[in-house]
Amino acid sequence: MNMPLNNALQIIIPTRGDLCAKGEELFIPGMEYYSVLCKGDEKGITRQDFCLNCWELFARHDFTKSSQTYWKSKVPPKKKAPAAPLHRNEKALELLKASVACDQMEDQAEAFVLAVYLARKKLLYLRDEVLDESGKRIQFYEVAATEEMIGVPKIDLSAIPIDKIQSNLAKKLNT
Ligand SMILES: [Zn+2]
């Protein structure tokens, strides 16, 4: 189980820009927007974000739905002062970020299990899935509260000791 996975982590998912890609409107808290990912060219993955007005124009003229991934999202409210102890779900998110940065199979499996859990809780949104250069599937999740993007290698859950992973995770989350 200690086989290193080679470098899923080199896929860099761009985060939202500060301005609309077309009209350069500033994205402010509470504002809805659309994001489009373009893949496959030499620059890797590129991203454009549009305010709703510009999106309508863009979607009508320049957008080929069949070849591009897009989603609608919302700029989250301004962050409040940091709260004291981490809520269980926040802990799970921190753990996910730590696990996904490690290249051991167990860590990657934990990361995927956590991502699925957090997506079910609607704290992450699954935005896209791509194949990396080695043919591995990478799922792109957006953190609902911060719009941060996290790439998580997709794991075949039937091929891993899921009970063991879940009980390890439960221990880590309860400490
Ligand atoms: Zn715009």
* pLDDT tens per residue across span 32-87: 999 998 876 666 788 999 999 999 988 877 776 656 788 999 998 876 665 556 68
Residue 37 CA to ligand 1 center (angstroms) comes to 17
Q: 92-105: per-residue pLDDT in tens?
A: 999 999 999 998 88
Q: How many whole angstroms from 40 Cα to the centroid of ligand 1?
A: 25
Mean pLDDT of the chain: 86
pLDDT at 167: 93
Is 90 a residue whose pLDDT tops 80? yes
pLDDT of residue 43: 65
Would you say the pTM of this structure is higher than 0.85?
A: no
Residue 75's closest CA among 107, 136, 33? 33
pLDDT at 162 over 50: yes
Task: Calculate how far, in angstroms, residue 24's C-alpha sits from the geometric centre of ligand 1.
Answer: 6
Please give the order of strands across the beta sheet that includes 124-131: 124-131, 137-143, 149-153
Least confident of 18-32, 49-63, 151-165: 49-63
Residue 147 CA to ligand 1 center (angstroms) comes to 18
Q: How far apart are CA 138 and CA 126, in angstroms?
A: 11
Distance 144 CA to ligand 1 centre (A): 22
Find the 51 Cα to ligand 1 centroid distance in Å: 4
CA of 102 to the centre of ligand 1 (A): 38
Distance from the alpha carbon of residue 171 to the mean position of ligand 1, in angstroms? 46
Q: What is the pLDDT of residue 169?
A: 92
Q: How far apart are CA 150 and CA 12, in angstroms?
A: 9
Q: pLDDT tier at 25 (50, 70, 90 boundaries)? A: very high
pLDDT band, very low/low/confident/very high, at 5 (cuts 50, 70, 90): very low
Strands (E), 118-158: 124-131, 137-143, 149-153
Across the strands, what pairs with 5? none
* pLDDT for the residue 88: 85
Give the Å distance between the CA of 16 and the centre of ligand 1. 13
d(CA 140, CA 115): 10
Place 120 in a pLDDT band, splitting at 50, 70 and 90: very high
Mean pLDDT of 86-91: 84
Residue 168 Cα, ligand 1 centroid: separation in angstroms? Answer: 46
CA separation for the pair 4, 74 (Å, rounded)? 36
**What pLDDT, on a 0 to 100 scale, did the predictor assign at position 77?**
84
CA–centroid distance, residue 128 to ligand 1 (Å): 23
Residue 14: its pLDDT value, please? Answer: 87
How far, in Å, is the centroid of ligand 1 from the Cα of 70?
Answer: 16
- How remote is the CA of residue 68 from the centroid of ligand 1, in Å? 19
